[in-house]
Amino acid sequence: MCGVVSREYPKYALVAVGAVLIRNNEILLVKRGYPPGKGKWSIPGGVVEVGEDLYSAAVRELKEETGINASPLGIVWVCNNIVRDNDGRIQFHYVILDILFDSNTISGDLKAGGDAVDVSWVPINSIIFREDISKTVRNLIERINKFGLNYIRI
């Protein structure tokens, strides 16, 4: 099974990116069409393709899932997302590098694509009250509320 990596019940953690875009106290989220997090609102993103740098992957995922283009600023958060099945086995494991984008560079028309079934600007202050928001988004917003919107340029 040379070169094939399963996303479900993987042998190794997969590297992924999230595209974080915030403007006017709203965050751009997509509704997931596939596991993990199917039916939950989450940061647009996905697995980094072989040979792709982190920023290119985040730009690609943002465009594929939302129809939006923007310029990346830097890494705002690193998330170790481990999802276990009902038997406690690791069903999914992603190391996600969330890339912050410059809201002043937004272009394109908002429309869901890729594995996203919907896309929307969501008020940040509503996230803690909603059950349909992914835990990774909740963790990101908690971090931003606690430490501010800081990022590292690589």
10 Å CB burial of residue 29 (0-12, 13-18, 19+) is buried
Quote the pLDDT of residue 4. 57
Question: Domain with 84 in it: what CATH number?
Answer: 3.90.79.10
- Give the range of the structural domain holding residue 135, as residue numbers without chain letter: 14-147
Residue 109, in any domain of the structure = yes
Distance in angstroms (rounded) separating the CA atoms of residues 1 and 14? 17
What's the average model confidence in pLDDT over 55-65? 98
User: Does residue 56 fall inside a structural domain?
Assistant: yes
Euclidean distance between CA atoms 144 and 119, whole angstroms: 21
Count of positions (residues) in the chain: 154
The DSSP code for 142 is: H
pLDDT, tens only, 100-124: 999 999 999 999 999 999 999 999 9
Domain count, the chain: 1
31: helix, coil or strand?
A: strand
Tokens representing 113?
């694509």
pLDDT score for 12: 94
Reported as a pLDDT band with limits 50, 70 and 90, residue 1 is very low
Q: Assign 7 to helix, strand or coil.
A: coil
Q: Say if CB 40 and CB 79 are below 8 A apart.
A: no
